[in-house]
């Protein structure tokens, strides 16, 4: 069996390579999978793809033509795959949970950084500037956090927030009554939260969930955190909200147009995304490069589950982690 990995980085190879053997051969392509690169998949049985690979109808048709049996996503989200088109042609499996703690903990790290200005203090003290001017923060205890999406990650994030003494409001399309959470409407959550954190998947329905209208209904100075998927937020509306000070700050681990930028070193390039460029100049916006998942535990679980998914699907034609 031959597996072609796309958008692979040295750390992917480090965690997957130990599983390779005579009957499971691996090829690691650095390039992303898309219409221009799909021909590289010819001669393989499985493609292993990641969040910013483009697996649209054209790519799926080509993969099918090459005899690819399975698209093994080494991530949880699958919004980059045209599932309707893949159905009946190629199996699609994913890693539903590799470390929800990694993402929830990164979300808290971003929030604490923003509200205590640690990002500014780090840079300042490197040049022996020990002034406190401009670093004034606020306590999270007693503040209200609105959690949108209370699945694996959102529910852990909510528990951590409770541990900090925050009041938690929750919204989910399918509320989980077994969780000790105060579910409310999206409108109420927007109107009453000091911090809003996104943990729902990107779907047609949740696309631009945070737009101009949503922002105008929020509390003045509300903080928005997105460690889920970029297109949940209309970035231009967010920029406008930051500029007119309606929004008190934003922590973004994901960005709508991230696919060409994130995970890569673009420091020598002229970045043509004016919205991102302006967001980056704001002192109260923190951007990380889709790194919330990036822990040793998560990478180890991703490799183990992906290999298990591939073996299971190829030997039985099914997998418990098949995306329907």
Residues at the interface with ligand NAI (CB under 6 A): 76-77, 97, 100, 103, 148-154, 171-174, 199-203, 205-206, 227-229, 253-254, 290, 292-293
Q: In b/e form, how buried is each residue of 139-151, taking b as 16+ CB within 10 angstroms?
A: ebeebbbbbbbbb
| Alpha carbons 149 and 200: distance in angstroms, whole number | 4
Q: Is 17 a catalytic residue?
A: no
Nearest CA-CA partner of 197 in 147, 256, 231, 152 = 147
CB of 180 to ligand NAI, least distance (A): 15
Give phi and psi for 105, each to the nearest 5: -70, -35
Nearer to ligand NAI, 41 or 202 (CB): 202
Secondary structure (DSSP) of 62-100: HHHHTT--EEEESSS--TTB-HHHHTTTSEEE--S-S-H
CB of 101 to ligand NAI, least distance (A): 11
Q: Which of 106, 229, 256, 322 is catalytic?
A: 229
Nearer to ligand NAI, 53 or 253 (CB): 253
What are the DSSP E strand ranges found in the chain?
A: 2-5, 25-28, 46-49, 70-73, 91-93, 144-148, 167-171, 182-183, 195-198, 222-226, 247-252, 285-287
Nearer to ligand NAI, 38 or 298 (CB): 298
Q: Is 85 a catalytic residue?
A: no
Nearer to ligand NAI, 69 or 94 (CB): 94
Q: Is 141 a catalytic residue?
A: no
| Alpha carbons 30 and 171: distance in angstroms, whole number | 38
CB of 174 to ligand NAI, least distance (A): 4
State the residue number with the nearest CB to ligand NAI.
Answer: 151
- What token pair was written down for 278? 């302006």
CB of 57 to ligand NAI, least distance (A): 22
CB of 120 to ligand NAI, least distance (A): 24
Per the document, the length of the chain is 324
Dihedral sign of CA atoms 200, 203, 205, 210 in order: positive
| Alpha carbons 272 and 264: distance in angstroms, whole number | 15
Q: Which of 290, 297, 312, 322 is catalytic?
A: 290
Report yes or no: 282 and 257 within 8 Å, Cβ to Cβ.
no
Beta bridge partners of 26: 3
CB of 213 to ligand NAI, least distance (A): 16
Q: Which of 258, 297, 312, 322 is catalytic?
A: 258
CB of 193 to ligand NAI, least distance (A): 14
Beta bridge partners of 4: 27, 47
Nearer to ligand NAI, 150 or 259 (CB): 150
State the catalytic residues. Answer: 229, 258, 290
């Amino acid at each position: 069996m031959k597996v072609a990995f796309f958008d692979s980085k040295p750390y992917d190879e480090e965690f997957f390579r130990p599983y390779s053997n005579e009957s499971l051969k691996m090829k690691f392509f650095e390039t992303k999978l898309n219409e221009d690169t799909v021909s590289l998949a010819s001669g393989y049985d499985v493609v292993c793809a990641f969040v910013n690979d483009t697996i649209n109808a054209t790519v799926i048709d080509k993969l099918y033509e090459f005899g690819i049996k399975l698209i093994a996503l080494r991530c949880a989200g699958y919004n980059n795959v045209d599932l309707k088109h893949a159905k009946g042609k190629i199996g699609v499996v994913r890693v539903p949970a590799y470390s929800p703690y990694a993402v929830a903990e990164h979300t808290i790290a971003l929030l604490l950084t923003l509200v205590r200005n640690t990002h500014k203090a780090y840079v300042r003290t490197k040049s022996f500037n020990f002034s406190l001017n401009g670093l004034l923060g606020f306590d999270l205890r007693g503040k209200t956090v609105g959690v949108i999406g209370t699945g694996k990650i959102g529910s852990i994030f909510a528990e951590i927030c409770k541990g900090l003494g925050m009041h938690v409001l929750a919204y989910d399309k399918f509320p989980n009554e077994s969780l000790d959470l105060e579910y409310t409407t999206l409108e109420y959550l927007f109107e009453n939260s000091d911090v809003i954190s996104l943990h729902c998947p990107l779907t047609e329905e949740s696309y631009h969930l945070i737009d101009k209208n949503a922002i105008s209904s929020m509390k003045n100075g509300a903080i928005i955190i997105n460690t889920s998927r970029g297109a949940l937020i209309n970035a231009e509306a967010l920029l406008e909200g930051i500029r007119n000070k309606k929004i008190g700050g934003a922590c973004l681990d994901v960005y709508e147009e991230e696919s060409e930028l994130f995970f890569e070193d673009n420091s020598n390039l002229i970045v043509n995304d004016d919205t991102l460029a302006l967001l980056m100049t704001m002192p109260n916006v923190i951007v990380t490069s889709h790194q919330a998942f990036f822990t040793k535990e998560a990478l180890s679980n991703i490799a183990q589950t992906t290999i298990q998914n591939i073996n299971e699907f190829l030997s039985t034609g099914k997998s418990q982690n098949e995306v329907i």
